[in-house]
Amino acid sequence: MKAMMVTRFGGPEVLEARTLEVPKPNSKQVLIRVEATSVNFADIKARYGKYHGASQPPFIPGLDAAGVIEAVGEEVEELKVGQRVIAFPKSGSYAEYIVVDEALTFVLPEGIGFDIAAACPIVSFTSYRLLANVARIEPGETVLIHAAAGGIGTTAIQLAKLLGAARVIGTVGSENKVHMALEAGADHVIHYGKEGFADQVKELTNGEGADVILDSIAGWVTEESLRCLAYYGRLVNFGNASGEAGQIKTSDLHSSCRSLLGFSLGTTRNKRPHLLRETADRVLPYLANGQLQIKIGQEFSLEEASAAHDWVESRKSTGKVVLRVR
């Protein structure tokens, strides 16, 4: 089979096409013929050797995929050959075939195409768990979402509204990304550029601040976020795209009853995969009935993985970037 592999740590050029044997599932796994996969920022960090738990080269990158089950292990109970599925493989997804644990494979509802299916797993599962399970959003609250034009950003905007948010504010780092966040349903979008955003958030909320803040950037963005986090608010950090750590003082939390929370979908897949079954049951119906629209910004072929990485890394991308395998 054909696969794209990280041959050494470095830039997009280290991704190379290789021909490998089709993997064999163990007793509790399924073999999936991949139709499409997606590019996540974690793939880029793994390529540089900076993603937690990243393999040593050579390895196949990729966290999620959509395809058709080709074979099942003898202990697999719920899944069957021929089913259309999305999945979270542990050994990469930039390949024509992957093996995946049954617990991390989910049947696709009818009507969801493979492009949308490939774009949805990481962004929809992460967004739902951030809002519903970690932040425990309540109806009527205000939500602030950073990197609002990206895959998770545009998905979280929609899910926040579906889960009862009264107001969703997004932030973006360039003017040409504002329209993407607005199209996803944000009520206000702040292009902060080199300026902060906290004062604008306070102005939009009559001085109260946001009840829930989703932060995948860290560094100064985390620190600035605390300035506009409402009393009893929850600031959820789920990444550090800036490459820097934010500094938080405990004295900024206890008297205001505010919370700083952390989340990693990767850790959840590894440590508590059973939690994702409930997430799939909640998220996939939203996709099937059209309430949730996954925004695809660009599509590349599997062989164009280097170009796809370069596009995401340029910070010019909006929505999800999909790799077509077939």
**What is the CATH classification number for the domain harbouring 220?**
3.40.50.720
Across the chain, which distance is largest between two alpha carbons, in Å?
60
Predicted confidence at residue 242, as pLDDT, reads 84
Domain of residue 288 covers 2-121+274-324
Total count of residues recorded for the chain: 326
Domain membership of residue 79 (yes or no) is: yes
Written as six digits, the tokens of 310 are 């370069």
Domain membership of residue 49 (yes or no) is: yes
If asked whether residues 236 and 301 sit together in one domain, one would say no
pLDDT of the chain, 326 residues: tens digit per residue: 999 999 999 999 999 999 999 999 999 999 999 999 999 988 999 999 988 767 899 999 999 999 999 999 999 999 999 999 999 999 999 999 999 999 999 999 999 999 999 999 999 999 999 999 999 999 999 999 999 998 899 999 999 999 999 999 999 988 889 999 999 999 999 998 767 899 999 999 999 999 999 999 999 999 999 999 999 999 999 988 888 888 898 888 999 999 999 999 999 999 999 999 999 999 999 999 999 999 898 999 999 999 999 999 887 777 799 999 98
Predicted confidence at residue 194, as pLDDT, reads 61
If asked whether residues 246 and 225 sit together in one domain, one would say yes
Domain membership of residue 126 (yes or no) is: no
- Of 130, 41, 50, which Cα lies nearest the Cα of 320? 41
User: Is there a contact between 118 and 68 (Cβ–Cβ < 8 Å)?
Assistant: no
Per-residue model confidence as pLDDT tens digits over 15-66: 999 999 999 999 999 999 999 999 998 899 999 998 876 789 999 999 999 9
Q: How far is CA 47 from CA 112, 115, 279, 308, 313, in A?
A: 30, 24, 28, 13, 11
Question: What are the residues facing 4 on neighbouring strands?
Answer: 17
Using CA atoms, how far apart are residues 268 and 270, in angstroms rounded to an integer?
A: 5
**Structural domains of the chain, count:** 2
Q: What are the DSSP calls for 226-292, one per residue?
A: HHTEEEEEEEEE---TTS-PPP--GGGTTTTT-EEEE--HHHHHHH-TTHHHHHHHHHHHHHHTTSS
User: Is there a contact between 271 and 90 (Cβ–Cβ < 8 Å)?
Assistant: no
If asked whether residues 81 and 166 sit together in one domain, one would say no
Question: What are the residues facing 259 on neighbouring strands?
Answer: 234
Strand runs (DSSP E) across the chain, as ranges? 2-6, 15-19, 29-39, 65-72, 84-87, 97-101, 105-107, 142-145, 167-172, 188-191, 210-215, 229-237, 259-262, 296-301, 320-324
Residues 67-80, buried b or exposed e (16+ Cβ, 10 A)? Answer: bbbebbbeebeebe
Predicted confidence at residue 311, as pLDDT, reads 92
- CA triple 37-175-184, angle to 5 deg: 50
First to last CA, the chain: 12
Predicted confidence at residue 317, as pLDDT, reads 75
Predicted confidence at residue 213, as pLDDT, reads 98
Question: What are the residues facing 236 on neighbouring strands?
Answer: 214, 261
Domain membership of residue 130 (yes or no) is: no
Domain membership of residue 268 (yes or no) is: no
